[in-house]
Amino acid sequence: MEPSAAVAPSAPVPVRPRPPRWLARWAAVVAYLSEDLFGGPRVLKFAWVINFQKGATGLFVLALMWAYDNWSIDAWVYLALHGSYGVLWCLKHLAFPDPGWEKRITLAGAVMAWAGVLGPYWVAPFLLVSGVLGPRPGASAPLIAGCIALYVFGVVLMMCADCQKYFTLKYRRGLIDEGMFKVVRHTNYVGEMMLYASFALLVRHWVPWAILATVWIVVFAKNIMMKEVSLSRYPGFAAYKKRSGLLVPYIG
């Protein structure tokens, strides 16, 4: 889950433009459901909820393998991919945390964030390991190799983009239009989409894709559009937009 793309908080910052009303309402609904549901004290940091789910993924997959006595190559590969991503996410939080996840949320908001986004990510390993899909052959060697390659590219893009964004934010303000963001404006989202796609590919079922599509449309698309509005306040954004792409180089 990525809360922001590439913008830094040097010179007076231009006034942030207002998003279209429909987008503002969309963002408000998502924020209410995941941060302030039912009101009350904000007792948890969003980061705590996210880090727990991601950090515990490896243990969850290993527990599934033990419970269903499934020690197949597919299960081990899934454990290596999704489990290592959870560890890397937590290391990223320790080294260059995203301020967007430091906000505090209500207990009900945390439950909703878990039920609506974080928890469903565990459906993929359950389908793969539990055997509920019935007898079927294991993933082919080329598919496994492709999933590993897609995961590696995704993790590198996401980690490097977030690292660049964090340290740029720390030392200067303005538009970030170089490095990992030179030709793609939301590289961190691209990376996360790629690595989660590798998990869905390994499962070989439509349900993980449906879950990812829902998260990408409801959460990622909203975040990306809000960030585009935010970036538009910088004088150089129009030129930057012409020479870059939204998620794919030079497209969008």
Domain ranges, residue 98: 21-242
pTM of the model: 0.91
Domain contains 16: no
The Cα–Cα gap between 127 and 74 comes to 12
Domain contains 11: no
Domain contains 129: yes
Determine the residue type at 34.
S
Q: Is 222 exposed, middle or buried (0-12, 13-18, 19+ CB in 10 A)?
A: middle
Domain contains 53: yes
pLDDT for 1: 58
Q: Mean pLDDT of successive 10-residue segments in the chain (252 residues)? A: 52 74 95 94 95 97 98 98 98 94 96 95 98 94 98 98 95 92 97 98 98 97 96 93 95 86
Q: How many domains does the chain have?
A: 1
Domain contains 199: yes
Domain contains 136: yes
Domain contains 5: no
pLDDT for 13: 56
In 16-95, alpha helices (H): 21-35, 46-67, 73-95
Tell me which H or E stretch contains 216.
Answer: none
Angle of the 141-171 helix axis to the 187-203 helix axis, nearest 10: 160
How is residue 234 written in tokens? Answer: 């910088």
Domain contains 29: yes
